[in-house]
Every structure is written in C-alpha cells, then in structure tokens.
Amino acid sequence: MSLAAESTSGSARSLRLTALTKEFATFTAVRSLDLEVPAGTFFALLGPSGCGKTTTLRMVAGLDTPTSGTIHLGQDEITYQKPYRRPVNTVFQNYALFPHLNIHDNVAFGLRRRGVKDVDRQVQEMLALVELEAQARKKPTQMSGGQQQRVALARALINRPEVLLLDEPLGALDLKLRRGMQIELKRIQTEVGLTFVHVTHDQEEAMTMADTIAVMNGGVIEQMGSPAELYENPRTTFVANFLGQTNLMPGTVAGADSDVVRVDMHGTQVSIPADRAHTREGSGWVGIRPEKVLLAPEGEPIDAPGNHMTGGVITDVSFVGVSTQYLVRMPWGQELMAFEQNTGRRAVLAHGTKVDVSWRPEFAFLLPATQDVNAGAVEEA
Amino acid sequence: MNGVQRLGRWIGDHLVLFGGLLVVAYMFTPIAVVMLMSFNDNSRSRNIYAFRGFTLDNWTNVCGPNGMCEAVARSVGIGLAATIAATILGTLAAFALVRHSFVGRSAMNTLIFLPMASPEIVMGSSLLALFVATGNSGRLGLVTIFIAHVMFCLSFVVVTVKARLAGLDRNLEQAAMDLYASEAVTFWKVTFPLVLPGIAAAALLSFSLSFDDFIITNLNAGQTVTFPMFVWGVAQRGVPMQVNVIGTIMFLISLLIVVGNMLATRRKPAAA
Amino acid sequence: MTGRKLTGYWLILPAALWLGLFFAIPFYSLLANSLYDPEGSVLTGYHVSYRFANFADAIRDSGPELWRSLWYAGLATAICLVLGYVLAYAIAFKAGKWRNLMLVLVIAPFFTSFLVRTLSWKLILADDGFIVDTLRFVHILGEDGRLLATPVAVIAGLVYNFLPFMVLPLYASLEKIDGRLVEAAGDLYASPLRGFLKVTLPLSMPGVVAGTLLTFIPAAGDYINAQLLGSPNQRMVGNVIQDLYTDTGDFAAAGALSVTLMVIIVAAVLVYIRRAGTEELL
C-alpha cells in the first residue's frame, strides 16, 4: 500500500470520475460523467436544482452508491468504499452539526474516531482558524447561521481530507454574510492547499471562488473551464444563460474561413472569431453579453469598429447605480439588453430614444440554432 | 379606536385564554383536593367527605393502612419491570418500522395502533379468556399482570420513539459516517443519544400507565393487589387519608421530572 | 436475503410476538368465550357450543347499560372536544411564554393516580360540598338535590379523566398551523369567526379525529366513574362485564358482551372516520 503512504505524507492526489452513473427508480440523476479534479484546486459543480450535482458529490463522499462507473483518488479506486474509510469530508448543506455535542466535540468528532492524539490542541487551532475559539463550549443551536457554517467547515477541515466536499455551504446564509464567507472560504482553501469540490446553484458564488467550474444540466456536464472562459465563450445556450445574462439573436451563417465566421442577421453581416463559433453552417444564435453592447443616439459615432446595427429604440431604462440597464427594441422585434457603466461621459438615454447598437466582433459568440434559446434562463435568482 | 372598542378587543383577545385557564383549573381542582386531603385529620370520623382539621399524621404514618404500602411497592415493581420490557421491545420495533423495510410492515403498524384504540375492558377480558383457555386461571398474579402491562405499554412506546426517530435528521448520521464513524459507532455516538429523550419519555409514560392501570389489571391479577386495586377496595369501605399522600407524592415526582426535563431542554435554544 | 434486510425482522419480532400472543390471540379466545355454553362455570369448566344466542341474551339483558355507555361516552367526548379545543387553542396561540407551563399542567394529571383523582371528585361533588351548596343556593338544584349518583357526576368524571387525551392531539395539530394563514384569511376579508371556521378548524381536523377517538373509546369501556360517582342507575357496560367475570363467573355472557361492545365501537369508529375524512376534504 505505497499509495496510502503517499497520501499520508501529504502529496495530494487528483479526484477522477469515470463514466459515473446514478439511476434512481424513476430517473437518471447522473449520466456517464467523466471528470478530473486536479489536486489542490477549488472546483465548482454548478447547475440548477435537480441537475445531478449533489448526487455526484454524495457519490464521491460515499453516501450514495453509483449504479455504474468508477471513482478514483490518485490510483486508488474508492467507488464502493465506505464513507468512513475515505479521506474525503463533507460540509453539509444544512451543516448537520450534532445537536447533542458542543462545538469543541463537534469539531473533535472525526479526530476521535480515528484515535488521533492531541485532539484538544488541534481543535483549538482549527477553531482559531475559523475565529470561533471563544465559542467552543456552546451548543450548535446557540450559534448564528454564519457561525454554524464555520463550525461545519472546521469539523470537516480538521481531518485534513484529500478532498473537501461542500454541498451548497452558503445557501442558508443571507446575501451579505454569503459574500463574506465566499472570500473566507477561498482564503482558507489557499491557506490549507486542499482540493475543494463545491456544489452550488449560484453562478456568482461559483465564479467568485472556483478555479474551475463544471456546469451541470440534466445529469451531464455541459461545459467545464475557468470562470472567465465559461462566461466569455460559452459553448451552449444553457451555459450562456445560466452564467450571467446574455443576448441571443437569430442569424444565418453566410460564410466561414479559418479566422472568422460571418453571419447574416436580418440583413446586417456580423463576424465572429472562428474559435468562438460553435457552428459553421446553417442558422445559429449570435450571442453577446449585455455589458459588451455599446449604444449611441441614432447617427452619432460609436467608438468601436465592429458590428454595427441601426434602427433600435430604447423601451426601458433601469438606473442601478454603477450602471444603467437598457432594453433596446431592434427592427426585427427582439429586445436586446445593454448595460452601460455610469462613467458620467454621457447623460442617461431617455425612454423612446432612437439608437444605434454596436459590439466588438471578438466578444460575440455563435451557437447552433438547434439549442433551446431559453435553456438555463429561468433559473436566475 | 375608542375605549369601548378597545375593551371589546381586549376581551376578545383574552377570552380564549381565560377559557383555557378555566379548563386548567377544572383539571387541577381534584389534584388540589388530593393534596389538601393528605393533611386531613380524619382520626375521629369515618366520614371522608369533609376536611376535619390539619395534621401531618398521614405523612408521618404513610404505611398505616393495612396493605397499602405493600400494594404501592408491588405496583412500583410491576411498573419498573413492565417499563423496562416495553421500552426495549418498543424501541426495537420503532427502529424496525422507521429504518427497515420488511414484509408486513403496514400490518405491524395496525397491530401496534389497535391496543390504543381498544377499550380496556375488552382487552382485559380477552386476556383473561386466553389465560383461562390455556389452563392458567389458577396462576393469575404478578406474571399475568406483567404480561398485560407490557402489552398495553408497548404501543405507546413504539409511537413515542417512532415520532422521535422519524424527526431525526438523517444527515446527522451521514455526517458521522463521513467523519470516520463506522455504522456501530454512528449508532452509539449519534443516533442513540439523539433518540434517547424519546425513549426516556416513552419509559416515563409506560411507568405511569402501568402504575395507574386498574381495569385490565383487576381482571388478570388473581389474588395479587396493586395500588389501584387497593384504592378500589377501600373506596367501597372508607378511604384512608394516606391514599392522598401517595397521590400527592406521585404528582410531585412526576411534576419534578417533567419540569426538570423542560428546563433542561429549554436552556439550550433560549440562549440563541 | 442480506443481513441488513433481515435486521428489520429481528427488531420487530419480539414486539410482534408479544402483541400477537397477548393482544391478537386473546381476541380469538374472547370470541370463543362468547360462544360458550352458558351452563359452564369456573368449577365445571367451559366448552364452546357455538351458541350465538349468547349475543341476543347479552343485548337483551344489558341493552340499557350498552346504550347508556355509548350515550355517556358520546356526550363526554363532545364536552371534552369543546373544553379541549379551548384549552389547546389557548396553549397554541394565546399562552405566549406560558405555553410550556400550561402543557405541563395538561400532562401532569396523567401521572397522578386515576383512581385517587376520581375519588377526589367524589369529595368535590359531595352532598354537603361547596359545589352542591352553591347550586342549591342558586336553585339550580333543589333543596335536597345532589350531584353524586347522577348522570352529571359520571359524565363530569369521564370528561375530567379523558380530557388530556383530547387536549394533546388537538394541541399537536393546532401547533403546526402557521399563524400567518389565519392572518392571510383576515387579509382576504374573512371575519375572525370565518377565519377560524374556514382555516383553523379544517387544518386541526386530524387532531379533532384523533382526540375524539382517544376519548370516546376508553370512555365507552370505562366503569370506574360510573362505580365511584354514580349509582346503580348509572351503570355502564363495563360495570356489567366486570361483574359477570368477578361476581357471577359467567364467562359466556361476559365474552358476548365484550365482543358486542368491541363491534359497536369499531363500527362507530369506521363510520366516524369516513365522515370526518370527507368533511376534511370540503
């Protein structure tokens, strides 16, 4: 068992899921999932509820048994290993703190089960890390949600698991506390250098913390990559809609070469870089993020050489402080979103103003028309 | 809002509470009388229907009435034995019903519900019929009382423990398994301590049901006399005031347990 | 079959055996009793003669007691429902910080001997007691009117003894009701009374059903209250059965009467549950 020795010596191992499938009586939660999480990364599984992300997490923890497929930690297969034999710990969605034990005993639970010496000192150190040293003798019910969350984290982290699983760990916290905990979690992960696998339905949370995000939908991974990659160059309408907001406009491919794909949109030709065009023929959806859309009153110059469309009318103006969000009705009837920073360069445009619309070609992307234009859009919280 | 309306509102808001307090008073009047009568000086009169004067004699000479303390001791013994047996059997059954699937589970649920929905007189006669039919009519006594008491306590134990167990968050056990506790360790470190209050409540209920039972016991006791049977016997002739002392002691002990338990469970969330 | 699958059977087995042997099978013995030849006695022994006439005899001989039991138990249950509802409602919605104390007060009588408490009612309702004196003074009772040995005393005793069985299930179902639902009803133009009738009451129906059953069934079989607080004119079916066993040793009649009582109760409960069930849907 040289591999076990390797794990205790602290050299981290990657987590690998191969063709992992989980079928329940009436539906398939996870379909032949392949995934590799490199050691030491902060990995997020992002998706709407029911997409299979929690089931995936529970299979890694050993709380659910896969129907087929394997789970490896480095070279060791752990697919059917009991949860208490895996070097994997979980921060549960509602924390699952033991109500009959105080904070100290909750955090010490895992160490005591493994017969570790020196439990008290380690617990104190861990409580110091999450800034709860003074609360060690309290019962979980006496603590606030944020404090409970940190106890749950400490209780899992103290075991120095090779993989720490976090199941919607911030879901029960209010928005302000959640922001603070996101930064805290990221700091702790960097500090301890463990592999974190984080399950969430909150795209902002995933993008804030994770090095790599896998977007899950209907039991499969739609796309995986860094937050910027997913946001800037989504490969499916689901990813485009689920991560932030997006404008998807119908168009027909007019021609393609090695660098760009040209698309005809209601008479106007726009070009899309070849590496952002996920179809090269037929019809498709031209995507552009609202903050990349530039506006100018009709006929005035827009300082961006790019795709230019005329004939828009502003139908809604929402001033939200840092930016102004416009809805612009285009000649073909569709309303486009356009977000403009409030730099003060220009007064807010009034409802009904006729405008021209433009964007830089390198920001646009092209998706096949076979995909559902509304996929992933309803979930927005 | 004028004064009349305000008064009307106040009455409306508090009417139900007043009604509730009146009902509580109704429930407590007899207990107050029991407590009062435990200090009744009844030495000069056989008439128990009046308070004759204050005395501590009933308390200092509790075991005065012939056979009463023996009956109390017998009832306590039966109560403890039946409670232990019913609590163990009922707890096991509750785990089976909540945590395991087996053929006949819904039939079992019905079988457990039925004793609670049967009149005592019918259960008592049935059991007597069984004992007579199996030729045990001569052996009625402690054992048959024990059998009967375990039988009717069992359902209450199952229901009480089941409720506690069903309310237990399964995530807690999964969290324990995730934190290196094997199935057995998880049970003893997490499941059992969390179900324990339910088991304790069930045991308390069992004991009081057993201690208090008259109708079923009376049919299956043979010559054995339990405390309720003693009270029944003296009720025909003239009740010694010491009976009220026993009633008062029981009330105080149970109040102590219930209040103590309430304070213990309330302290934790109250500080949150 | 795996070990895990067998665990359930092992856990349920002791309880199942106990209830089977000492609850279910005795019913069979009781049924056999009810078909005994009535000529038998403790001394000469009994034998099953399939004498169904035992039932006719039982109903003929004890019809008044049977009828009185159902009538008293029904009335006591109705009074318990009203009193219990008021109390449970007060605890659930009006008691505030006194809620736990009031709950303890409801549970506490449970733990004090049933017989001793019933005897104390005998004291309270005594002929020269405070209540009788007062009622005589305001001429509700006549000059030498009394409460003891009247149906009033027996029913009051039944109400008293089984009230906790009504209050606890009612409280359990009332407590679960979200107070905002009643507020929402008020917001939607329901008067407090209509809000109660249309929201609170229907939602508390499970408690009402459980409470009435837990009160009615034991009350119908009870004979302690009739014996201690009543006179021979208030004898209930329980008294008759008890006497048939202990005084006359007439197992056949006792069995037949027990079975009759059980059948009537089961039928009443089934009809009641069915009706209550449909009302709940309205």
Taking 90 as the threshold, does the pLDDT of residue A307 lie above it? no
Taking 50 as the threshold, does the pLDDT of residue A8 lie above it? no
Residues of A in contact with B182 (CB under 8 A): 82, 84
The CA distance from B228 to A295, in Å, is 92
Domain ranges of chain B: 67-270
For residue C154, give the nearest of C240, C75, C214, C86 by alpha carbon: C75
Q: How confident is the model at residue A3 (pLDDT cuts 50, 70, 90)?
A: very low
- Residues linked to residue B47 through DSSP beta bridges, in sequence order: none
**B180: contact with A, CB 8 A cutoff:** yes
How close is the nearest chain A Cα to the Cα of B186, in Å? 10
| Contact between chains at C224 and B266 (C-beta distance less than 8 A) | no
So what CATH class is B67-270?
Answer: mainly alpha
Residues of B in contact with A96 (CB under 8 A): 169, 171-172, 174-175
pLDDT at A200: 92
Residues of B in contact with A63 (CB under 8 A): 174, 177-178
Q: How confident is the model at residue A5 (pLDDT cuts 50, 70, 90)?
A: very low
CA distances from C156 to A70, C65, C226 (A): 70, 18, 10
Contact between chain C and chain B (3 or more Cβ pairs less than 8 Å apart): yes
pLDDT digits (tens, 9 = 90+) for A342-353: 888 888 889 999
Taking 90 as the threshold, does the pLDDT of residue A326 lie above it? yes
Dig out the tokens for C170 from the structure: 């009612």
| Cα B272 to chain centroid, rounded | 32
The answer to the question of residue C50 being in a domain is no
Q: What's the rounded mean pLDDT across residues C190-204? A: 80
The CATH number assigned to the domain holding C247 equals: 1.10.3720.10
pLDDT at B6: 75
So what CATH class is A245-368?
Answer: mainly beta
Element (H, E) at A165: strand A163-167
pLDDT at B49: 59
> For C21, phi and psi rounded to 5 degrees?
-70, -40
Longest CA span, chain B: 79
Domain hosting C173: range is 61-281
Residues of A in contact with B194 (CB under 8 A): 98-100
The CA distance from B120 to C237, in Å, is 12
The CA distance from C170 to B130, in Å, is 36
Element (H, E) at B269: helix B242-270
The CA distance from C200 to C177, in Å, is 7
The CA distance from A280 to C104, in Å, is 76
pLDDT digits (tens, 9 = 90+) for C10-69: 999 999 999 999 999 998 888 888 887 766 665 566 667 767 777 888 888 888 888 899
Q: For chain B, first and last CA: distance in Å?
A: 38
pLDDT at B141: 87
How close is the nearest chain A Cα to the Cα of B182, in Å? 6
Q: How confident is the model at residue C196 (pLDDT cuts 50, 70, 90)?
A: confident
Helix axis angle, C114-124 relative to B242-270, nearest 10°? 110
**B34: contact with C, CB 8 A cutoff:** yes
Contact B254, B238 (CB under 8 A): no
Q: What's the rounded mean pLDDT across residues B122-142? A: 87
Q: Give the nearest partner residue to B269 out of A84, A93, A141, using CB atoms.
A: A141
Q: What's the total number of domains in chain C? A: 1
The CA distance from C33 to C254, in Å, is 8
The answer to the question of residue C28 being in a domain is no
| Contact between chains at C29 and B130 (C-beta distance less than 8 A) | yes
Q: What's the rounded mean pLDDT across residues A160-180? A: 85
pLDDT at A213: 95
**A99: contact with B, CB 8 A cutoff:** yes
Q: For chain C, first and last CA: distance in Å?
A: 46
pLDDT at A1: 28
Distant-in-sequence contacts of A377-381, Cβ < 8 A, 24+ apart:
A377/A241, A377/A242, A379/A48, A379/A201, A379/A242, A380/A245, A381/A202
**A141: contact with B, CB 8 A cutoff:** yes
Binding partners of C (≥3 Cβ pairs within 8 A): B
Domain ranges of chain A: 2-232, 245-368
Say which residues have a Cβ less than 8 Å from residue A211's Cβ, sequence separation at least 6. Answer: A41, A42, A43, A226
3-state DSSP assignment of residue A170: coil
The answer to the question of residue C65 being in a domain is yes
Distant-in-sequence contacts of B257-261, Cβ < 8 A, 24+ apart:
B257/B204, B258/C104, B258/C107, B258/C108, B258/C111, B259/C104, B261/B197, B261/B200
pLDDT at A32: 92
How close is the nearest chain B Cα to the Cα of A141, in Å? 6
More confident residue, C42 or B148: B148
> Mutation test of the interface with chain C: which of B108, B122, B234, choosing the one with the most C Cβ atoms within 10 A?
B122
pLDDT at B226: 92
Contact A256, A283 (CB under 8 A): no
For residue A32, give the nearest of A221, A199, A197, A224 by alpha carbon: A221
Q: What is the DSSP letter of B175?
A: H
Q: Which of 3.40.190.10, 2.70.98.50, 3.40.50.300, 3.40.50.970 is the CATH number of A2-232? A: 3.40.50.300
B94 to chain C: closest CA residue? C12
Residues of B in contact with A155 (CB under 8 A): 179
**B132: contact with C, CB 8 A cutoff:** yes
Q: Is the dihedral of CA C154, B19, C206, C274 positive or negative?
A: positive
The CA distance from C72 to C233, in Å, is 13
Helix axis angle, C25-34 relative to C251-281, nearest 10°? 120
Gyration radius from chain C CA atoms: 23
**B221: contact with C, CB 8 A cutoff:** no
Q: Give the nearest partner residue to A100 out of B177, B181, B194, using CB atoms.
A: B194
pLDDT at B269: 45
| Contact between chains at C117 and B247 (C-beta distance less than 8 A) | yes
How close is the nearest chain B Cα to the Cα of A365, in Å? 43
Tally the C-alpha atoms within 13 A of residue B253's C-alpha that lie toward its C-beta: 12
The CA distance from B37 to B241, in Å, is 7
The answer to the question of residue C11 being in a domain is no
3-state DSSP assignment of residue A260: strand
Count residue pairs from A and B with Cβ separation < 8 A.
Answer: 71
**Order of strands across the sheet with A365-368?**
A268-273, A260-265, A247-256, A283-288, A365-368
**C252: contact with B, CB 8 A cutoff:** no
Residue whose structure tokens are 């905990």: A181
C3 to chain B: closest CA residue? B100
| Contact between chains at C87 and B24 (C-beta distance less than 8 A) | yes
- E strands of chain B, at which residues? none
pLDDT at A9: 38
